[in-house]
Amino acid sequence: MREVYFDYGAANPLGPEVVEAMIPYLKEQFGNPLSLHRFGDAPRQAVEDAREKVAALIEARSNEIYFTASGSEANNLAVKGVALMNRKRGNHIVVSAIEHLSVINAAQTMEKLGFEVTRVPVDKYGLVDPADVAAALREDTTLVSIMHANSEIGTIQPVAEIAKVVKDGSKAYFHTDAVATVGTIPVDVKELGVSLLSLAGNQFYGPKGTGALYIKRATRIMPLIDGGVQEAGRRAGTENVPAIVGLGVAAELAKGDVQERMAQLVPLRDRLIERLTKEIDHVYLTGHPTERLPGHVSVVVQYIEGEAMLLLLNMQGVAASSGSTCTSRALKASHVLTAIGIEPGLANGSLVLTLGRESTVEEVDYFAEVFPPIVERLRQMSPLYKAT
């Protein structure tokens, strides 16, 4: 049986160069970067080299990069840190309805602590209308957080336009969760015009346990993790040197390869979307048809229950997902699918296929062959389908 991994969005295999670069820092170079003796020298230098590589990937300065242990931590730092630090200036936050839960729930926590949150809707493709953001802005808005791309439906937002609207209409800081885009498509913090941007290494063949928040100079933000002087006092805790080194290498590789990676993935994505939606009845693309992540295919399969679909796919050697991995075991309807107007019954049949470096046209075609019988088999068990 063929083994097809179509869940790069949930986890990436690390690049071999990434692992090799990490190993010395798990072994002989174990020192603490803050130590005032030679055991600290190589680790300290390695962390700063990685910072430069991550900065280069998003066209930032290295002193604007703050390492975290995940994209979720970077998002929480951005939302809570900016809201709390600027609380005397205002207590209003704007987010989109389809943000990752690490933004949605962080905003909700701020709400519990006395802040007000406006949730901007999206259209049926998952696009935020910059005019809706403009309309949400208030005198006391201190933060607007709109993601760069959504990992469940693949839609890429017009972040530069939204950032401009925020800048023109308020004194709010603009944050974008770019966890799904950095390393996958070109990302330039200056072109986007953002004050804060989150990224995660495990989205571009870097190690788990790595993330970073870009914080533009002069942005007022409170630490999420207080303590020592690491990360210029903005994120305490002994630096995870091996992981940071791996993130740096992954960033450097991504910077060199991003165009090539897109060129590989877009045709595979489009072929898979076309075959699924044309060859099987009642299969509908979710998200935007063209403004979407290069390797991202998301559909809803009517009259099907997603978990059973994943199980049968797994038996055919295919690893896939039914949505955000962070919520896959929460067993409730995706807030993203709800926001784009998919009714709960249809949302049950959500299927997300994320392609990556090892994906091939043969795998796409294998999928397109094995999937229709699975759909057919499950639909035979569905009373709703029989009624059609």
In the complex, what is the shortest distance from the CB of residue 284 to a copy of itself, in angstroms, rounded to a whole number?
22
Nearest alpha-carbon partner for 115 in 96, 133, 89, 135:
89
Please identify which of the residues 56, 236, 326, 333 carries the catalytic annotation: 326
Only one of the segments 164-172, 238-246, 258-266, 267-275 lies at the binding site for a copy of itself (rule: CB under 8 A); that segment is 238-246
CA 222 centroid distance within chain? 23
Enumerate residues 6+ apart whose C-beta is below 8 A from 101.
324, 326, 327, 335
Is 230 a residue that touches a copy of itself (CB under 8 A)? yes
Alpha helices in the chain (DSSP H): 16-26, 41-57, 71-85, 101-112, 130-136, 159-169, 189-192, 241-279, 306-315, 335-339, 344-347, 361-379, 383-386
Alpha-carbon distance values, 243 to 140, 198, 246 (Å): 39, 17, 5
Could you tell me if residue 95 is left (phi over 0), alpha (psi between -120 and 50 degrees) or otherwise beta? beta
Interatomic CA distance for residues 343 and 292, integer angstroms:
22
Give residues 123-152 in contact with a copy of itself (rule: CB under 8 A). none
In the complex, what is the shortest distance from the CB of residue 22 to a copy of itself, in angstroms, rounded to a whole number?
7
Give residues 2-21 in contact with a copy of itself (rule: CB under 8 A). 5, 7, 10-14, 19
The count of residues interacting with a copy of itself (CB under 8 A) is 79
Is 155 a residue that touches a copy of itself (CB under 8 A)? no
Is 108 a residue that touches a copy of itself (CB under 8 A)? yes
Whether residue 326 lies in the annotated active site: yes
42 vs 262, beta carbon nearer a copy of itself: 42
218 vs 229, beta carbon nearer a copy of itself: 229
Only one of the segments 116-124, 126-134, 203-211, 293-301 lies at the binding site for a copy of itself (rule: CB under 8 A); that segment is 203-211
Give residues 11-70 in contact with a copy of itself (rule: CB under 8 A). 11-14, 19, 22-23, 26-28, 30-32, 34-40, 69-70
DSSP type of residue 148: S
In the complex, what is the shortest distance from the CB of residue 112 to a copy of itself, in angstroms, rounded to a whole number?
8
Give residues 312-371 in contact with a copy of itself (rule: CB under 8 A). 313-314, 318-322, 324-330
Backbone angles phi, psi at 198, to 5 degrees: -100, 145
Interatomic CA distance for residues 244 and 289, integer angstroms:
35
First vs last C-alpha separation in the chain: 34
Nearest alpha-carbon partner for 212 in 105, 63, 326, 357:
63
Rounded to the nearest 10 degrees, the angle between the axes of helix 16-26 and helix 241-279 is 160
Quick note: the x/- pattern for a copy of itself over 65-94, rule CB under 8 A, is ----xxxxx-xx-------x----------
Is 187 a residue that touches a copy of itself (CB under 8 A)? no
327 vs 382, beta carbon nearer a copy of itself: 327
Quick note: the x/- pattern for a copy of itself over 278-317, rule CB under 8 A, is -----------------------------x--xx-xx---
59 vs 338, beta carbon nearer a copy of itself: 338
Enumerate residues 6+ apart whose C-beta is below 8 A from 264.
357, 359
Is 241 a residue that touches a copy of itself (CB under 8 A)? yes
Which residues are catalytic, by number?
326
